[in-house]
Amino acid sequence: RCFDTDIVRGTLFFVALFTLHRLMCALSVLCTLSMSLLRPTATSHASSSMMATSRAAATLMAGAAPYDYTLLTLQPTYTIHDWPATQCIMDEYVAETKAERGLTFCGYSTTRSRRDSTVVGDFAEEPGDKLFCRDAFPDADSLLAHLSNVEPQRSALLQGPASLDGIELHGPAAELRKCEDAPALQGARLFEVDCGLSRLEKESGGMPLPLQLVSLHTSFSLADADAARAICKEIVATTAGEENCIYHGWTVCGDTLTCREAYGSAVGLARHCEGVAASIERLLDGPATLREGQLHASLSQLPVLAEFVEERRRETGYCSRETQRFFAAEGGFSRYEVQQSMFGFFLRR
């Protein structure tokens, strides 16, 4: 009987604690909403803040279900001609962008061809290496405001330090249409969201923190679009159970299928690759063929993935030895907040 009493008391305590957590979440949302109404900011920033508040409020009690995949990502790629000048401009770019509260995250990464003898285990860029910008936004208004804000840095970069290889913009169809006529995006390839999931509790407006996510960008050529989409949805369903996933989704432009995914650590990405290996094999067995892969991670995270590739003998294919590696700069930052996980269950904050 004493044992049963302890169980009942423990259960009641946990229920009370969980109820208090929910009440605090609701109070936090109401306070945020009140503050945004009392102290409006610029139009684009206010709309992004209200969107994030509504997003959390609308799904406050939705349990473990992830959010819809609606993130806009701007991905220009450059060829580096003068690395010191490029680095200086990109550091200014990131610093200028920190004033944008409507942004989800901002950062850049580069391929590095030459070992740097001055730093143990580090590498240095050479002319011809690639520069990749990783910028994400909750909506088109925030993206367009960003393009206007960093136009001086973009122009300076193209005056000699680097040359533009191409621009990709990924996002929902409705948001892509709002960006079609932007001068800075002329010639960009527009990839429409097909399916995916997000664990971003708040997509923008948070305190700027160092950008530490590990992202994998993989593109495929479509042969059977219907069959490929069915497998992509299967992969999304599998990924929904992965606690370390920040976002995972599939976009399409013509006959090009792209997977954009990000994880909190290299270990999380490696586990994901193991979990979806069978589905990826079926995707490549007729419905699609692999074009290229890009891995973006900090220097400290790359050895984990290199060890994973070596142990699994992944010579070719998805997240393999042939995946091009980009070293993420330390200057990037994020303004998003993610769902929290406790005892394997996702909780809303």
How confident is the model over 274-294, as pLDDT tens digits?
999 999 999 999 999 999 999
Q: For 148-202, write each residue's pLDDT tens digit.
A: 999 999 999 999 999 999 999 999 999 999 999 999 999 999 999 999 999 998 8
Q: For 303-328, write each residue's pLDDT tens digit.
A: 889 899 999 899 999 999 999 999 99
Give the DSSP H/E element, type plus range, for residue 278.
helix 277-283
CB 257 within 8 A of CB 287: no
The pLDDT value recorded for residue 43 is 39
CB 42 within 8 A of CB 148: no
Question: Looking at per-residue confidence, does 48 or 272 come out higher?
Answer: 272
Pick from 2-11, 14-23, 72-81 the range whose average pLDDT is largest.
72-81
Of the listed ranges 7-16, 134-143, 179-188, 268-277, the one predicted with least confidence: 7-16
Band (pLDDT 50/70/90 cuts) for residue 33 is very low
Pick from 2-6, 33-37, 142-146 the range whose average pLDDT is largest.
142-146
The pLDDT value recorded for residue 89 is 97
CB 97 within 8 A of CB 105: no
Measuring CA to CA, how many Å separate 126 from each of 69, 80, 246? 36, 8, 32
CB 248 within 8 A of CB 196: yes
The pLDDT value recorded for residue 7 is 54
The pLDDT value recorded for residue 13 is 59
Q: Provide the angle, in degrees to the nearest 10, between the axes of the packed helices 43-58 and 2-38.
A: 160
- Whether the per-residue pLDDT at 297 is higher than 60: the answer is yes
pTM greater than the 0.85 cutoff: no
Amino acid at 200: L
* Residue in the structure block whose two tokens are 């969201």: 193
